[in-house]
Amino acid sequence: MAARWAPPAGLLLLLLLAVLLPARADRPARTAHADDDPEASSAVFQLYGNVYPHGLYYVAMSIGNPAKPYFLDVDTGSDLTWLQCDAPCVSCSKVPHPLYRPTKNKLVPCVDQLCTSLHGGLSKNHKCDSPKQQCDYEVKYADQGSSLGVLVNDSFAVRLANASVVRPSLAFGCGYDQEVGSSTEVAPTDGVLGLGSGSISLLSQFKQHGITKNVVGHCLSMRGGGFLFFGDNLVPYSRATWVPMARSAFRNYYSPGSASLYFGGRSLGVRPMEVVLDSGSSFTYFSAQPYQALVTALKGDLSKTLKEVSDPSLPLCWKGKKPFKSVLDVKKEFKSLVLNFANGKKALMEIPPENYLIVTKYGNACLGILNGSEIGLKDLNIVGDITMQDQMVIYDNERGQIGWIRAPCDRIPKFGSSLL
C-alpha cells in the first residue's frame, strides 16, 4: 500500500445488508473445490468508495461465527489481511463496526507455516521460543502507517458464482496497535484486504483450500464503486493486454516490468521506469525524473484558458474561466499518456486525461500523478487507483501474467454473460 493523499474520514455505511452472507436454509454451506464445477471457482464482490473525495476503494467481508461485516481497504500492494481488533486494543482508530474480538483458540502458533511465510515477507528474523508461542507481526506501509498484532484463524463467509456459500477458516491479522490516520475521526474501513502474491494473502489461502484459482481482478469505476473478483471465470483472456509478471525489487508488488513514458504520442526521454500496480494507492506516483518531465510537458502544452492555482486537495492544479464540474469538462485541454511495457508485445497502457486528473470540490482540475521521491518511494513508480479506473485489471498468479482491458466497471457482472 502506498500513501493515500489525505483521505477524509467517514464513509456512509451503505448497502450493508446486501453484502452479509448468511447460509440459505435450503442450501447448506459447503466447501467448494476449484475443479468441482466451472462456476464454483469464482466469487465477485461489490466495491464501494472512489478516488476523490473518499480516497480508497473498499469491500465488505463477512468474518467470524456468527458472521459479522467488516469493511476492508482493497490492497494488491500488500499480502496480509488484517482487522483492527480488541485483543485488547492498545491503539486503534474509530472504525465503522465494532472491533473484532478474537478468542484464544483462534490464535495461529508461531511454528505454523503461514507464520513462517508471513515473517519471510516482512523480515528474515523469525524464531519461536516454544511451540505454543503465538504468531506476532508488525507491518509497515509506504505512508508511514503500521499495524502491530497477532495472527488468528477465523471463518470467512463467501458466496460463489453457483450461489453456494463457503466458510473456509483463513489466517489474518488481529491488529491491536495501529499507526493510521487520525485516532479521533472515524476511519472509513475496519482494516486491509491484502491481495499480494505471498502465501499469507487471502487469495493464496483460497487457492490452498481449493476454492478458487490464484487469480484476482478488480474493476474500479470512475463513478464510484466497482467490483472485485477471485478466480478466472470473468477473465477475457483473448481480448486483454497481457504482460509477464516481473520480479519487483520492491517486496511482493505486482509488476508488469519496466516501461517507457509517452505524452501526446511523443517520448518524454526518460530512462525506462520500473512500474508496479497497487490498488492500495489512491493516486499514481512517478519517481523524480519522469515526474518532472511530465510536469514540464503538461505546462508547456496547456492552453491559455487554464491558470495554475493553489488547491489544498493536490499539489498541482489549474482553474478555467469558470469552475469545472467534472473531468469531462477539461479533458480536451490535456493529452493522453502511454506506458509502453518492454515485457509484452504491443503492451501499451493508455492513460487518458480522466485517468490522471481529478476535479476538486473547488472546481479546479488537479494532477493525480504525484512525485513519489518526496515521500520516500525513490525509483519506484506506482500505478494507483486513479489510473486503473474503468479498466479491468487482472493479476493471474496461475500463469504469471498481468492483464488489463477497458470495461464498464459500474456494472457488476453475472456469470455466463459478457461484461465487455
Give the pLDDT band of residue 86 (cuts 50, 70, 90).
very high
Confidence of residue 18 (pLDDT cuts 50, 70, 90): very low
Task: Say what the pLDDT of residue 70 is.
Answer: 98
- Closest C-alpha among 248, 251, 208, 217 to residue 118: 251
Does the pLDDT of residue 274 top 60, yes or no? yes
Least confident of 106-110, 179-183, 242-246, 381-385: 179-183
Is 75 considered catalytic here?
A: yes
Q: What is the pLDDT of residues 175-205, one digit of tens each?
A: 999 886 655 688 999 999 999 999 999 999 9
Q: How many other CB atoms sit within 10 Å of the CB of residue 102?
A: 21
Is the per-residue pLDDT at 1 higher than 80? Answer: no
Strands 369-371 and 146-159, how do they pair?
Answer: unpaired
What number of other Cβ atoms are within 10 A of residue 231's Cβ?
27
Q: Which three cell numbers stand for residue 319?
A: 482553474
Q: Got the DSSP string for 268-332?
A: --PPPEEEEE-TT-SSEEE-HHHHHHHHHHHHHH--TT-EEE--TT-SSEEE-SS--SSGGGTGG
pLDDT, tens digit, 9 for 90 and up, residues 107-130 = 999 999 999 989 886 666 778 988
Average pLDDT over residues 396-408: 96
| Mean pLDDT, range 216-229, rounded to an integer | 97
pLDDT digits (tens, 9 = 90+) for 27-69: 333 444 444 444 447 999 999 999 999 999 999 999 999 999 9
pLDDT on residue 133: 93
Average pLDDT over residues 141-162: 90
Q: What is the pLDDT of residue 27?
A: 31
Catalytic residue among 154, 278, 385, 390: 278
pLDDT of residue 25 exceeding 80, the answer is: no
The answer to whether 383 and 274 have CB atoms below 8 angstroms apart is no
Least confident of 99-113, 244-258, 298-312, 387-401: 244-258
Give the pLDDT of residue 161.
Answer: 87
Question: Is the distance from CB of 134 to CB of 149 less than 8 angstroms?
Answer: no
Q: Residues 138-151: what's their mean pLDDT?
A: 87
pLDDT, residue 131, reads 84
**Mean pLDDT (whole number) for 151-167:** 93
Mean pLDDT over residues 260-270, rounded? 96
* Residue 26 annotated among the catalytic residues of the structure: no
Of 211-215, 249-253, 329-333, minimum mean pLDDT range: 249-253
Mean pLDDT, rounded, for 300-310: 94
Lowest mean pLDDT among 125-129, 147-151, 197-201, 325-329: 125-129
**Could you tell me whether strands 307-309 and 317-319 are parallel, antiparallel, or unpaired per DSSP bridges?**
antiparallel
Q: What are the sequence ranges of the domains in the chain?
A: 43-230, 241-406
pLDDT at 124: 61
Can you give the pLDDT at residue 345? 79
Residue range 43-230, CATH number: 2.40.70.10
pLDDT of res. 250: 64
Q: What is the mean pLDDT of residues 299-308?
A: 94
Q: How far apart are CA 397 and CA 232, in angstroms?
A: 11
Q: Does residue 296 carry a pLDDT above 60? A: yes
Q: Which CATH class is domain 241-406?
A: mainly beta
Coil, strand or helix: which one is 143? coil
Percent of the chain residues past pLDDT 90, beyond the cut: 74
The pLDDT, as a whole number, for residue 223 is: 95
| Identical topology for domains 43-230 and 241-406 | yes
6 pLDDT more than 60: no
Long-range contact set of residues 102-105: C-beta below 8 Å, sequence gap at least 24:
102/150, 102/152, 102/154, 102/174
- Predicted confidence (pLDDT) at residue 362 exceeds the cutoff of 90: yes
Calculate the dihedral angle through the C-alpha atoms of 232, 242, 208, 32, rounding to the nearest 10 degrees: 0
